[in-house]
Structure 1
Amino acid sequence: MTSDPRHDLLRLINGFQVTQAIRVASVLRLADYLSGGTRSADELASLTKSHPDALYRLLRALATVGVFREEESRRFALTPMGDCLRTDSATPLGAWAEVVGSPYFWQAWGHLLHSVQTGENAFQNLNGKDVWQFRAEHPEYGVTFDLAMTQLSRGGAEAVIRAYDFSSFRHIVDVGGGQGLMLAAILLAHPHLRGTLLDQPDVVAGAKAILMERGVIERCGIVGGSFFEMVPEGADAYLMRAVIHDWDDDEAVAILKVCRRAMGEAAKLLLIERLIAPPNEMPATKFSDLNMLVSPGGRERTRQEFSELFGKSGFELTRVFPAGIHNVIEARPR
């Protein structure tokens, strides 16, 4: 089929409509209600306390993009894509859909023009505070964000474990590791390993249950604190998943220097991050970079840019291991 440039562009322009529709589907837990089999739109409306006709219109629209499947008599079923919206999915994305569609996130993207014209962070300009402070002051958003980060770790953890050999280590510190899902996966794959989880106290408050559920709590310490101030000493590997991309160069160097002070000469630094691809390739990473500009104020980086960050903070980049949409970027002290 011949591509129609105007039609293709129009589809991209209207992409926000799909984002908001998926967010509503997640908030209403439609995938959970469909996990046992097909249901009618009226049944789903009753379960979700929604307007029957309006809900049907939402469902049929999402069926056209593969989130649900519409069958006879206004009945709907889950698709493999929609299955990722289940709260108990093995590869969940519902919480991230709710974050992306939330007013505070959405409004910051509405100020992208300001960021492009000034280079300033849109969220800070709009709200007078950074996104981290905002979520701390609005715990209802912070809880959803923390859950989204945990969910996003699930799919990435397996790719990281396949890509990188952790077997030579004895003790790993996960710096900014959220509620510990990535660290738990590594510990499960390597029963000889011990781990330490570091993140803000309100974040790691939810980590114990996750680590207990996965049977690794006896091998894992939990530390509440700021990686701008301290990192536990004495481990032979320091891991950060999608942390450095949240920060500009000066702040990233500050975090890395704190890690460097905690590390022995034989320890390894492992960053799990996206890498900016050559021109015209990998839109997901380059739009993620725009998200960094708009919301947290950081950036996605090229391999060379990571190498330069390492040089400023006492490290040397040694190897890069592709791991799904991310890479394990290994560095050593110098």
Structure 2
Amino acid sequence: MWSEAEKTGAEPGDRRSMALLIDEALGYVYPAALRAVAAVGVADELAGGPRTVAELAGQTGVHEESLHRILRLVATRGVVEELDDGRFLLTELGQALRSDVPLSARPAVLMLTDHTLWLPSGEMERCLREGGSVFAGIFGMPFFDYFAMDEQTATSFHNGMAAVSDAENLPVAACYDFPEAGVVVDVGGGHGGFLLEVLRRRTGLEGVLFDEAHVVAGHRLDIDEIKGRWRTAPGDFFSEVPRGDVYLIKRILHDWDDEQCAAILRNCRRAMAPGGRILVVDAVVPRGNTPHQAKTLDLLLMSALVGKERTEADFARLFAASGLRLSRVVPTGTVVSIVEATPTDPAA
């Protein structure tokens, strides 16, 4: 008798590979389901304990059968659990999807699955064939121009980035030996979450939160712990930045191409006090086949923006073009590292 492999000419390993790749190709469906439950607030409704699908559908105002089918998939990833009686329970992992917990992933999930990132990533083949971002081809204008005219999308982006940063800010600030005194300028600092953690650790430091006016208006620095040691400064980092001793540039450079990044860095270099330094807080793409979130985010940046995640060598070249040198890379235990730059000619 012929074996199944002999009948088809396929080896068992071939079948496993085919099955695995089919599963991988279906992978995009899960984040769509995760977005759906995040958008309608299912986790918040489950905070008090297990609920039936009918109860959840009534509380969230959605279609009952569709909700059940979506939750059934989300349960396979451990965010919720379907109990024997058909009710759904929010797991320990799923607690982070609630909107009322200190470190909520919900804004980040909604940002990363927003149509402004989702649609360009679906057109990645065009990036491959044509080069460059496909965002303008879909939305009619570049990424940040679109945000400037769409308040809802801009709010989702800034809230999402703040949520991503919230989980990083304390460990990143804790792993760097900031000076005891001086002025720290947070360039493109958003709502100031990272600057807040830096000022908490060094009571002799003063801080400047520098970003667009509508962004710094939503700052979170007005707390007694750092009272009198900070100010906001609205502006455009492509034009100029405030004078300071230490410049924080967290999750900013990866949005822009090398020429634009060099413009930001040169502005910091010109405004920097003697003995100053620049701390670029971004992912550093590892060499080889090591999995790293930066390699995934890099493709989102490729399809939607003009920037990219960079290797250590990329940062060294970027700094050299900006009158700076890479002095060291400090791991933080998070996705991002601190890439420290100092002037090549401190007297210039």
Aligned to 2:305: 296
Aligned to 1:256: 265
- The structure-2 alpha-carbon separation of the partners of 1:311 and 1:85, relative to structure 1 and needing over 3 Å to count, comes to same
**Equivalence map 1:1-334=2 (5 Å):** 4-207=16-219, 210-212=220-222, 215-233=225-243, 235-323=244-332, 324-334=334-344
Measure, in 2, the Cα distance between the counterparts of 1:249 and 1:214.
39
- The structure-2 alpha-carbon separation of the partners of 1:85 and 1:113, relative to structure 1 and needing over 3 Å to count, comes to same
Measure, in 2, the Cα distance between the counterparts of 1:31 and 1:214.
33
Work out whether residues 42 and 52 of structure 1, in 8 Å CA contact, stay in contact via their aligned partners in 2. Answer: yes
Work out whether residues 90 and 154 of structure 1, in 8 Å CA contact, stay in contact via their aligned partners in 2. Answer: no
Spell out structure 1 runs of 4+ moving beyond 6 A.
none
Structure 2 counterpart of 1:244, one-letter code: L
Structure 1: runs of 5+ lacking an equivalent: none
Q: CA deviation at 1:9?
A: 2.0
Q: CA deviation at 1:11?
A: 2.6
Measure, in 2, the Cα distance between the counterparts of 1:48 and 1:222.
39
Larger radius of gyration: 2
Work out whether residues 40 and 74 of structure 1, in 8 Å CA contact, stay in contact via their aligned partners in 2. Answer: yes
- The structure-2 alpha-carbon separation of the partners of 1:136 and 1:321, relative to structure 1 and needing over 3 Å to count, comes to same
Instruction: String of CA shifts for 1:4-29, please: whole Å, max 9, x gaps.
Output: 43333223211111111111111111
Aligned residues: CA RMSD: 1.8
Structure 1 counterpart of 2:173, one-letter code: I
Q: Is the partner of 1:74 in helix, strand or coil?
A: coil
Q: Is the partner of 2:185 in helix, strand or coil?
A: strand
Structure 2 counterpart of 1:261, one-letter code: R
Q: CA deviation at 1:127?
A: 2.4
- The structure-2 alpha-carbon separation of the partners of 1:43 and 1:215, relative to structure 1 and needing over 3 Å to count, comes to farther
Measure, in 2, the Cα distance between the counterparts of 1:247 and 1:43.
46
Q: CA deviation at 1:58?
A: 1.4
TM-score by length of 2: 0.90
Percent identity over paired residues: 32
Work out whether residues 173 and 194 of structure 2, in 8 Å CA contact, stay in contact via their aligned partners in 1. Answer: no
Work out whether residues 241 and 273 of structure 1, in 8 Å CA contact, stay in contact via their aligned partners in 2. Answer: yes
Q: CA deviation at 1:45?
A: 0.8
Measure, in 1, the Cα distance between the counterparts of 2:230 and 2:81.
43
Measure, in 2, the Cα distance between the counterparts of 1:285 and 1:222.
30
Q: CA deviation at 1:169?
A: 4.2
TM-score by length of 1: 0.94
Work out whether residues 180 and 205 of structure 2, in 8 Å CA contact, stay in contact via their aligned partners in 1. Answer: no
Q: Is the partner of 1:15 in helix, strand or coil?
A: coil
